[in-house]
Amino acid sequence: MGRMRLLVTGAAGMLGQAVVSAATRLGHDVAALPRAELDITDAERVRRALGAVQPAAIVNCAAWTDVDGAEADEAATTRVNGDGTANVAAAAAALGVRLVHVSTDYVFDGTKTTPWLESDPVAPLGAYGRSKLAGEEAIVAAGGEHAIVRTAWLFGAGGTNFVDTMLRLAEERDEVAVVTDQVGSPTWSGHLAPALVELAERRGDAGVFHAAVEGSCSWNELAVEAFHVAGAECRVLPTTSERFPRPARRPAYSVLGTEREPGVRLPAWQDGVGAYVRERLAVGAGR
């Protein structure tokens, strides 16, 4: 695919930064709009921004991503993830612009024991999942060409994430307790971002896509792998969700698989952890 104009919303966030970087590296003309320049909850500003940029495609990375915070303020979460997404979808549909939108494994209830496929029934357990599902439904209702990409357990540079939190704790403590009873698909932003750009290029291929990483693990195993790569001397103790309650319920099993051809298939989660931890250590060494 040749050079295209790409609009990235939420461009200052963890995933937004990675998408801007990947799209630029792939030779596209990128309009990177952080929240300060484009608040997607303002429908008129969204319409004006799209009209001014005239992109061939949009990658919508603007989102409320605080899962526990969403429980305390579902209305504010839904204003961004539901209504804000609806604004982007409506403006994109009106201009015939392809929309690539990032959604979540938390639209599922976690009751399966095999990977969730694109056609599986959705039943979010919490406010965050409900708000993201509202966004998905708004995109379909808008009737424009779209790719809804569900991803999971995202980590990477430029934002707070589990791997980062664990590595920080390892500097302060000898041991951490991490749950073993939630299993998912840890996804590095550096792997997901180029896949999103590729989907932006893939006109005509529409619907829901799962960004399926190879393999799966528990949060506990993810911490163990991060410490192993970083050479951190910190033990990871097992605990359960019951013993470690959080405001938001998480699905017990939210591993993403895909039934699409071509689907979005990403490298092994361990490769992502390795790449991210090494990148993080290199940045630390260069301080």
- Given phi > 0 = left and psi -120 to 50 = alpha, else beta, which region is 188? beta
In 10 A of CB 265, how many CB atoms? Answer: 14
Residue 253 designated active-site: no
- Asked if residues 218 and 180 have their Cβ atoms less than 8 Å apart, the reply is yes
Cα–Cα distance measured from residue 116 to residue 193, given in angstroms and rounded to the nearest whole number? 21
Cα–Cα distance measured from residue 100 to residue 199, given in angstroms and rounded to the nearest whole number? 7
Q: Which residue has the tokens 């932006």?
A: 200
Which amino acid is located at 91 in the chain?
Answer: A
- Asked if residues 162 and 222 have their Cβ atoms less than 8 Å apart, the reply is yes
CA neighbor of 136 nearest in space, from 265, 247, 128:
128
Half-sphere CA count of 66, side-chain side, radius 13 A: 11
Cα–Cα distance measured from residue 158 to residue 241, given in angstroms and rounded to the nearest whole number? 27
Question: Could you write out the three-class secondary structure of 26-48?
Answer: CCCEEEEECCCCCCCCCHHHHHH
Residues with a catalytic annotation lie at 128
